[in-house]
Structure 1
Amino acid sequence: MPNLEHPAYPAADLLHLEGLVPCRESQVSTLLSIFGERQHFSFPSIFIYGHTSSGKTYVMKTLLTTLQLPHVFVNCVEYFTSRLLLEEILIQLQSCSPGAEQTSPVHCDTLNDFVRLFKQAVASQELQDQTLYIVLDRAEQLREMEANILPAFLRLQELTDRNVTVILLSEIVWELFRPNMGCFEPFTMYFPDYSIGHLQKILSQNHPPEYSADFYAAYINILLGVFYMVCRDLKELRHLAALNFAKYCEPVVRGEANERDTRKLWKNIEPHLKKAMQTVYLREISSSQWERLQHDGGEPGQLKGLSAHTHVELPYYSKFLLIAAYLASYNPVRTDKRFFLKHHGKIRKTNFMKKHEKTSNHLLGPKPFPLDRLLAILYSIVDNRVAPTANIFSQITSLVTLQLLSMVGQNDQLDGPRYKCTVSLDFIRAIARTVNFDIIKYLYDFL
């Protein structure tokens, strides 16, 4: 028995719609009840909110398109000013009629112009006998526009005296929208996050035709068992499922296991899913590079922790400052002569290793260092001469702001500020590679 029933719409369309929006039948049923029949006046404004990837945009697009309801769909991030937003609504409104001609440019400077042009557009497109829906995606951007834009959209049906419903889609709650002066209260509706059962059902629908549905469902079950605690974004999970399925099928393709041999399939895919855990949400490498690495048995990139883009965006001398800070944090003070003076003589490591230094400095954690030591190491590792200008000091402040360095103690100390480097060894090695600096040769723990 179908879950979606409404006397104003054909049963075949509702059945098709139900198949397109799995696990959102209750929300679609509520929306259909609010919309009513085509010629009926609907609620003036509807506010739909929920977390990222909870189906808000997809459900609204699918519902309006499948039932062929006249609508305008605008992303407020793309049209970020009131003029761009109002003009885009009017331009899309010109093409709502099936026999619409080439859309002409529209100039709309104020809200009064929009109301006037909106009435003309609705009359010319013969939309008076059915409800027109204006959907504003990422509606939280409306709070950055003029103060009259949001209240006007909430009361657009009253201002234009036309059968129009404005639907706001957002990731934040209505209480953060409500103006201090008050406004018309929209009908609020919440889209909850997909449960693990919902994700299993939705992702299992994308199974390749050459494999059985049960085989792909078992793979999705394994994938969710690994990633569900750290990632519940449907788009990201769908991307991960498509990326790793070929590796899951390898034992079946080679004839080493059948589709029901879950244990062998799990043992084959487990290490690759753990590698993929390191780059959830981070597009450090492309899908083709990832597949090539899986085929070659390599590691998923040499950068861990932070994205590769962060490394590239650091200025040239900031990279050397960060390297110098890392060396100052993890090398004992008396080793500076050994590493950074040309004529230091032969100094063996065992000669100045004490009992408390048998433990690795990397296990003990970073130690604070003064500013003059940081600059002294910087001048030693940089090939060309670097003057202690204001630019260098501002870059140190920027590294502190980025939390790559942390300031230790108070700012009013007479002996100058002290810092501590907070990045990991993998991170600093990646930084050093971008400037062709072998940092391992300068670390006391690796002698």
Structure 2
Amino acid sequence: MSLLELTAQLSEKFPGRDYQIDQLLTMLGEPDEPTPPAIFVYGPSATGKTSVIRTLFENYDPIGTNYAYINSVECFTSRLLFERALNAWTGHIPSVENKFSNYARCDNLVDFVNVIRGVLDGRKETHYLVIDQAERLRDRGSMLLTSLMRMQELTGGCNVTVVLITNVVWDKFRPRHGGAADPQCVFFSFYTKQQMLDILVKDCPVGEPESFFLTFVEAIYEVFHRNCADLNELRHLVAMLYPKFVQPVFENQATRSEFSRLFKLCQPYFAAASERLYLREISTSEWQKYSTVASAKNNPEDVTLKIYQMAENSDGLDLPYYTKFLLIAAYLASYNPSRLDVQYFARGKDPSKSRKKRAVTNSENCLGGRDRQQLLGPKAFAIERMLAIFYSIIAEPVDSSVDVQIQIASLITLRLLTKTSAGDRLDGIKCKCNVSLETIRSISRTVRLEIDRFLYDFA
């Protein structure tokens, strides 16, 4: 296959990536032509970097012995990286016959370079080392990255090119001591709306009208794109919601031309998906299982309620033990006034007694028109305050091996906590709790904590 044919084929398969594909194929050229020592492919997540690179090399080298695809998560040591690359270049497959041994043992970079010289001696074709999630290489010492960038020089002129795929810009990779020239960079930008629609419409089920499916995809994009810019998440939502959207057509409750009626019938599922499916409070299999009973002949709100109850009646979010207490502390910090922290969380205090004393006062305030605490929504709190509540409500001393900072960062990554202030460091930032009271009560039951004893004005 010529480079022009390959360019046309890849451009058709990956809409919106014509420029990047043309850049990459221009750098690669013909198999026996000289290539840059290193190519740096970067950009935000879910922009097609890995898919484009892997498909490109699968077609560029159908035999598969001129490139080695390495994922840094799997090859978490340099030795695994070196030996996996040599296996790919030589076509060696560990099996029972060879006792699952690798082509050669490479304990260090010197061994790797020496074996490369022997393997590639006399070969004119370029051999590519493709490393995905390359940002993990920065944790293995700057010399490894520098040596990979200079592999052509270290191997005595062997035509070896290293391709790094990452979400991080090159400035955060560049070794402080220098030692290697900057690579050729290829940037994968965010998809535009039209590019996303062109990609999503390729998932149209067999037998479904593409124009009708495109109308649905546009509606999904308009509903979710402000909170979800990730293409993979949108594709997942489309796959889960389209069967519910088109079901009334097969049940003769509406026609394909009645789009507004179909949208109205599916609207409860949009709400349930945004709160349960997107946040992964229920899994894909659970969503499919509990939504199969849905029908336009039934009340969609009843089915939605069942989906909500399914998530709430579970054993809570699948979180580590201490992380559950951190999330509970975050909820208390979001909904309890800070002026009452000493009264609720000081050691030796019984919050239930304080609640009884304020029962009449709270009821009078509510009758007087005062907004109740849970109706005002979550308030921002400092991480230091959340930690103080955490250490107060947990029964036993926290194990010294537990890294609380990492668990807080995980809650932010899972969108269970939302940052409300700028800054990368956890100390000093402010957050809000992003879960419901029912979820917190469910989590509290799993750790045997009476959450109602610590909640202010929730009676």
TM-score for both structures, normalised by structure 1: 0.74
Larger Rg, first or second structure (1 or 2): 1
**1:262 and 2:280 correspond:** no
Paired letter, 2:318: H
The answer as to whether partners of 2:35 and 2:161 remain within 8 angstroms in 1 is yes
- Equivalent pair of 2:3/2:25 in contact (CA under 8 Å): no
Gaps (5+ residues) in structure 2? 295-302, 412-416, 418-430
Matched, 1:208 2:205: yes
Counterpart Cα distance in 1 of 2:162 and 2:26 = 16
Q: Deviations over 1:273-296 (max 9, x none)?
A: 122112465322221211334333
Q: Are residues 393 and 354 of structure 1, via their aligned partners in 2, closer, same or farther at CA, if it must alter by over 3 Å?
A: farther
Provide the C-alpha distance between the structure 1 equivalents of 2:23 and 2:58, rounded to a whole number of angstroms. 17
Where in structure 2 are the equivalents of 1:378-417 lying within 5 Å? 391=397, 402=408
For 2:60, which of 60, 67, 80 is the aligned residue? 67
Q: Which of residues 153, 157, 168 in structure 2 aligns to 1:158?
A: 153
Aligned counterpart in structure 2 of residue 231 of structure 1, from 205, 228, 246: 228
User: TM-score scaled by structure 2?
Assistant: 0.73
What does 1:14-413 correspond to in 2, within 5 Å? 14-68=7-61, 70-95=66-91, 104-105=101-102, 106-123=104-121, 128-160=123-155, 161-182=157-178, 183-279=180-276, 281-294=278-291, 295=294, 296-297=303-304, 298-300=306-308, 302=311, 308-310=317-319, 313-314=321-322, 339-340=352-353, 349-350=359-360, 354-355=364-365, 358=368, 359=370, 360-362=372-374, 391=397, 402=408
Contact 2:72–2:137 (8 Å) recurs in 1: yes
1:425 matched residue in structure 2: 437
**Deviation at 1:196?**
1.3
Give the Cα–Cα distance (whole angstroms) in 2 for the partners of residues 322 and 285 of structure 1: 22
Identical columns (%): 30
Per-residue CA deviations over 1:217-248 (Å, capped at 9, x if unaligned) read 11111111111111121211111111111110
Give the 3-state SS of the residue equivalent to 1:73 in structure 2: strand
State how 1:4-23 maps to structure 2 within 5 Å.
9=2, 13-23=6-16
Q: CA RMSD in A?
A: 4.4
- Secondary structure (helix, strand or coil) at the match of 2:318 reads helix
Q: How big is each residue's C-alpha offset from its partner over 1:390-409, in whole Å with a ceiling of 9 and x where there is no partner? A: x27999x969x94999xxxx
Give the AA of the match of 1:146: G
How far does the alpha carbon of each residue in 1:144-172 deviate from its partner, in whole angstroms, 9 at most, with x for none?
A: 11322111111111221112211111111
Structure 1, unmatched stretches of 5+, are 1-7, 406-420
Partner of 1:148: helix, strand, or coil? helix
